[in-house]
Amino acid sequence: MEEIYDVVIIGAGPAGLSAGLYAGRSQMNALILERGQDGGQIAITDSIENYPGQAVQGESGPELVARMAKQAEGFGAKRASDSIQSVELNGDVKVLHGVKQDYKTHNVIIASGAHARPIGCENEGVFTGKGVSYCATCDANFFEDFEVYVVGGGNSAVEEAMYLTKFARKVTVIHRRDQLRADKHVQEKAFKNPKLHFMWDSVVVALHGEGLLSSMDVKNVKTGEITTIEADPDDGMFGLFGFVGTVPNTKIFEGTGLEMDERGYIPTDQDMHTNLPGVYAAGDVRVKSLRQVVTAAADGAIAAVQVEKSMSNY
């Protein structure tokens, strides 16, 4: 007989793994689906310093997530590696169409997270992987002793810029305003770092190079002046890292009846219910004020407990 899960969780980041842990622990037939590597955005984060009770100071994202995954599996949550392409979320039995197979389930917890927003400059796609990156943990070692530029002024940009100073000769943060958005204690550390420099009121408008990124045009938004930054001739290239926020992974839910806001985030009530019965959202994918590992994990737990409560009414 075809298997119908109690709950399928889309995404194995902190929200999905936490949902899986709670669902498994309450004996539900739960499946966690992940299309890539576990961890979502924390899989590409160098150090996690603000997850409560963290055992190891400055532990990396992948280490933390590996423990979360092991814990969820230990409580019986099943795992599958597949990429969901389309969904049918109405009705008692929901159907998720993956690349490998279809999945039927009474409940869905959407924990599909978010991905890096593009910088938005000309030729960005041409130089992605050829100088342009959105992941310092993944790519910092390619820029050992090179010059690196970081776009953005939030916590991600400033923390990842500091991480990049361990590898690069010089790191310059390019920010569109004259004040950082990052938390004050993060800023204090950054301003003390001798390898970290700042280019204020500036946006990257175009990238150039023969194969690899070797020059870019940067516009001062106050004066309109455009400056061309060239790679050091001895290097022949430089790195450009974008950390200008995130975009939710919700494209597959468009047109399904699932309510989303104008940016694609999913509104829920405080118990993670979406507008569709049996469909919950948890973590960075939902409309919320604080996107952190701790809030994602909490969302996942709440969603799984709500599924369990609804199932005891069957």
Say if residues 187 and 180 touch (Cβ distance below 8 Å).
Answer: yes
Q: Encoding tokens for residue 122?
A: 């000309």
Instruction: Identify whether 121 is a catalytic site residue.
Output: no
In the range 224-263, which residues lie near ligand NAP by CB under 6 A? 243-246
Residue pointed to by tokens 């430089």: 238
Instruction: Identify whether 138 is a catalytic site residue.
Output: yes
State the minimum distance, in angstroms, from the CB of residue 243 to ligand NAP.
Answer: 5
Say whether residue 156 binds ligand NAP (CB under 6 A): yes
Q: Give the residue with the Cβ less far from ligand NAP, 30 or 199.
A: 199
Pick the piece of the chain touching ligand NAP (CB under 6 A) from 5-13, 123-131, 154-162, 215-223.
Answer: 154-162
The CA distance from 183 to 186, in Å, is 5
Specify the amino acid at residue 196: L
List, in order, residues 6 or more apart from 259 with CB less than 8 Å away: 266, 267, 274, 275, 276
Positive or negative torsion for Cα 41, 46, 49, 51 = positive
Say whether residue 199 binds ligand NAP (CB under 6 A): no
Q: Which of 24, 113, 152, 209 binds ligand NAP (CB under 6 A)?
A: 152
The CA distance from 277 to 274, in Å, is 7
Q: Give the residue with the Cβ less far from ligand NAP, 244 or 276.
A: 244
In the range 203-222, which residues lie near ligand NAP by CB under 6 A? 203
Backbone angles phi, psi at 287, to 5 degrees: -70, 120
Q: Give the residue with the Cβ less far from ligand NAP, 100 or 184.
A: 184
Say whether residue 133 binds ligand NAP (CB under 6 A): no
Say whether residue 54 binds ligand NAP (CB under 6 A): no
Say whether residue 154 binds ligand NAP (CB under 6 A): yes
Which of 138, 178, 232, 269 is the catalytic position? 138
Q: Which residue is nearest to ligand NAP (CB)?
A: 154
The CA distance from 113 to 109, in Å, is 12
Burial 162-190 (b: 16+ CB within 10 A, else e): bbbbebbebbbbbbeeeebbbeeebbeeb
Q: Encoding tokens for residue 176?
A: 């569109």
State the minimum distance, in angstroms, from the CB of residue 296 to ligand NAP.
Answer: 11
Number of residues that bind ligand NAP (CB under 6 A): 19
Which residues are at the interface with ligand NAP (CB under 6 A)?
A: 50, 120, 151-157, 159, 176-177, 181, 203, 243-246, 291
